[in-house]
């Protein structure tokens, strides 16, 4: 059995072996630097959402579901153009600029890297979306998903 590290991979290690397939669905996750709960303020979360929507409007991705948690993002997309690295670089960079401006701050907003999971043909996308948007409920942030302001899904 090969050696398996006990600690989670770092951002640079997440890029090894990554490939992007046009037309494939991906679940993407990115975390705020030092897990600072920036998005407890829903208005700051909406700045991120605007950058995600810009990617949809550009035609580079189809957004199927997302949830912005206090310190991280989960986003279910189908890639239509480009690659995941460029997509996440744009969203994180542009959102960092507007978030820092809104907060009167400067510096890093996002941790390096991101996690991606390419969904298999046998994975039910609506089920993945339901699980994703229920994160605030499981985290105890709300009693009902309807109470949480930072999520959306095309099926719900």
Q: Mean pLDDT, to the nearest integer, of 11-28? A: 75
- Is 74 contained in some domain? yes
Q: Mean pLDDT, to the nearest integer, of 47-72? A: 98
Nearest 5°: the CA angle 91, 92, 95 is: 80
Percent of the chain at pLDDT exceeding 90: 85
- Is 86 contained in some domain? yes
What are the helix and strand counts (H, E) for the chain?
Answer: 5, 5
- Is 1 contained in some domain? no
Nearest 5°: the CA angle 99, 80, 12 is: 55
Strand pairing report for 115-118 and 151-153: unpaired
Range of the domain at 114: 16-153
**Model confidence at 67: pLDDT above 60:** yes
Position 19 scores a pLDDT of: 83
**Model confidence at 94: pLDDT above 50:** yes
Q: Mean pLDDT, to the nearest integer, of 9-24? A: 66
How many domains is the chain partitioned into structurally? 1
Position 51 scores a pLDDT of: 98
We report the CATH number of the domain holding residue 139 as: 3.30.70.1290
The pTM score is 0.88
């Amino acid at each position: 059995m090969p050696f398996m590290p006990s600690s989670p991979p770092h951002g640079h290690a997440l890029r090894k072996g990554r490939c992007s397939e046009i037309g494939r669905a991906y679940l993407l996750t990115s975390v705020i630097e030092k897990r600072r709960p920036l998005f407890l303020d829903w208005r700051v979360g909406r700045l991120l959402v605007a950058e995600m929507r810009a990617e949809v409007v550009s035609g580079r991705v189809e957004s199927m579901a997302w949830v912005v948690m206090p310190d991280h993002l989960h986003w279910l997309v189908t890639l239509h153009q480009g690659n995941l690295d460029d997509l996440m670089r744009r969203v994180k960079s542009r959102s960092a600029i507007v978030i820092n401006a809104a907060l009167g701050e400067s510096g890093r907003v996002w941790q390096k890297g991101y996690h991606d999971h390419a969904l298999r043909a046998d994975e039910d996308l609506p089920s993945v979306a339901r699980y994703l948007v229920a994160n605030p409920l499981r985290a105890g942030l709300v009693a009902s998903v309807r109470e949480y302001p930072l999520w959306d899904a095309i099926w719900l």
